[in-house]
Amino acid sequence: MDIVIIGLLLGGTYALMAMGLQLQYGVARIMNLANGEILIAGAFSTFWFYAGTKASPLLALFLVVPVAFLLNWAIYRVLLYPLVRRAKSQGKLEVDSILATFGLSFISVGVMLAIFGGEYLDYSYLSQPIFIFGERYGLNRIVAFLASAALCVSLYVWLHRTRAGLVLRAVSVNPSASGLVAINVVRTSALAFALGGAVTAAGGGLLSMFLTFDVSLGVVFTLKALIIVILGGVGDIRGTIVAAFILGLAETAVATLIDPGLTLAAAYILFMIVLLVRPEGLFGRRAA
């Protein structure tokens, strides 16, 4: 039972970070391999904020999110948009953006190493236990889950109920056709990329409330987010949320039942199964 609950709580936070990547890959068509580093940056900034002010880490999000938004917007406009313009095909763009974001991820790891140092960081906030069905869980996990759920729901509603969300979804389905109906594709892509980065950073801030971080962990989170996005289907927010829960459950099950060192292996086995059985993802559209 506690596997299920811890898995779901973890999955809820994973959903947020994967939604960030989903926006970047699904809408802006950038395979952003520096996504995990944005998450780590969010986590570390939250840690700093908490260490400095002793105020709730949730308040840190109000600072982290806008900064991450601006930073990612700048990254898209300065570094990635020239690649989009240069690319002759989607395949070429993928190769270029993978290489460029790799470079970016290494640079950010290097910069963060210089700023934060190489130690593991964690802090205890709301670590008193809370009892559900007679089992004890950290209150911080529950608060992080609720905050992340609130953000996911508002993002979902925003995407499906507002005009701006509709524009984003249109670009996600077909960028060139969106251009024909007077959508500014470049601006929308930049917006989606920036928003994706902000959401990922928020996910990092929430994860930092109950996980231990170090600078080099970014790539692991990038992989997890990628696997969630693929599992759920590229361009489908519902799929991402469902897939995040599946991954959260699978990881928790493997960590408790077999060995905590095998969490990535659990994610990879899921990935393998998806590729073999349903490469377009749970909710994805089959490519023509």
Partner 1 sequence: MSTIEQRGWAVVDGIANAFRSGFSVSAGERRTLLVSALIFIAAGLVPLIFGGYALQLAISIVMYAGFATSWLLFSGPTNYIALSTAAFFGIGMYITAGGIDLLPYPVLILASGVAGAAMAAVMGLATLRVSGVYFVIFSLGLAELVRQFMTWGQHVLGTMSGLYVTIDRSEPMYFWQLLLLAAVIYLVGWRIGRSRLGFALRIIGNDELVAVHCGINTARAKVVLFIISSAFASIEGAIVAPRWGYVEPGVAFNPFLSFQVVIMALLGGTQRLWGPLLGVIPFVLLWELIAINFPSQTTLLLGVCFLLIVYVIPNGITGLVEDAWSRRATIGKSGSGPVQRVIDASVGPLRQLLRRKNGNA
Residues lying near partner 1 in the complex (CB under 8 A) are found at 31, 33, 79, 82-83, 88, 91-92, 94-96, 98-100, 102-111, 113-114, 219-220, 223, 226-227, 230, 259, 261-262, 264-265, 268, 271-272, 275-276, 279
Look up residue 30 and give its two tokens: 């950038």
Which is closer to partner 1, CB of 249 or CB of 254?
254
Q: How far is the CB of 50 from partner 1 (least distance, A)?
A: 26
Give the separation between CA 11 and CA 183, rounded to whole angstroms.
34
Q: Strand, coil or helix: what is 131?
A: strand
Closest residue by Cα to residue 104 from 222, 227, 229, 214:
222
Closest residue by Cα to residue 67 from 192, 191, 194:
194
Q: How far is the CB of 140 from partner 1 (least distance, A)?
A: 27
Q: How far is the CB of 18 from partner 1 (least distance, A)?
A: 13
DSSP 22-85: HIIIIIS----TTHHHHHHHHHHHHHHHHHHH-S-HHHHHHHHHHHHHHHHHHHIIIIIHHHHH
Work out the number of other CB atoms within 10 angstroms of the CB of residue 22.
Answer: 30
Which is closer to partner 1, CB of 109 or CB of 244?
109
Which is closer to partner 1, CB of 4 or CB of 107?
107
Which is closer to partner 1, CB of 151 or CB of 230?
230
Residue matched to tokens 């209150």: 139
Q: How far is the CB of 258 from partner 1 (least distance, A)?
A: 8
Which is closer to partner 1, CB of 191 or CB of 254?
254
Q: How far is the CB of 157 from partner 1 (least distance, A)?
A: 30
